[in-house]
């Protein structure tokens, strides 16, 4: 079954800190990332499904763009991630961000298209992929 991926970009800041730990342990685990810092994120949304015989599309990218802009970009771009209520009890890591993004858009992708993968690149050497709950 074919898949299509669309790239989006957003900028956001975060810091890592666990209130249950002392400063020494936070620095030991998170190093310099205990300081507020930002990233220029590259977000890849992959959709799979059958190709519509009339349009030739799995999903109309105009529709996907609206979903991602309203559900993700408008919430995360130029934000401090840990201030988003979803992160109240979670670290603002890429591992948690991909789950957040998935949860925000999975129901918005209409059948027969299906959300297949969220890939989020934080830096040139760090990215996380999420394929939903693979049980």
134 pLDDT more than 70 = no
d(CA 116, CA 81): 24
- pLDDT tens, residue by residue, 2-54: 999 999 999 999 999 999 999 999 999 999 999 999 999 999 999 999 999 99
| Whole-structure pTM value | 0.94
- pLDDT tens, residue by residue, 50-77: 999 999 999 999 999 999 999 999 999 9
133 pLDDT more than 90 = no
Neighbouring CB atoms inside 10 A of 91's CB total 17
Nearest CA-CA partner of 97 in 39, 32, 53? 39
Element (H, E) at 27: helix 23-30
Query: What pLDDT is attached to residue 1?
Result: 87
């Amino acid at each position: 079954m074919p898949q299509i991926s669309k790239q989006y970009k957003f900028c956001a800041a975060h810091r890592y800190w666990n209130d249950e730990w002392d400063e020494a342990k936070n620095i030991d685990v998170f190093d310099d990332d205990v300081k507020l810092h930002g990233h220029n994120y590259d977000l890849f949304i992959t959709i799979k499904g059958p190709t519509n015989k009339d349009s030739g599309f799995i999903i109309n990218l105009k529709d996907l763009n609206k979903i991602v802009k309203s559900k993700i970009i408008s919430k995360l771009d130029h934000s401090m991630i840990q201030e988003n209520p979803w992160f109240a009890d979670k670290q603002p890591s890429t591992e948690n961000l991909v789950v957040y993004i998935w949860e925000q858009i999975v129901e918005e992708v209409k059948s027969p298209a299906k959300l297949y993968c969220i890939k989020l690149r934080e830096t040139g050497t760090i990215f996380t992929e999420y394929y939903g709950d693979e049980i």
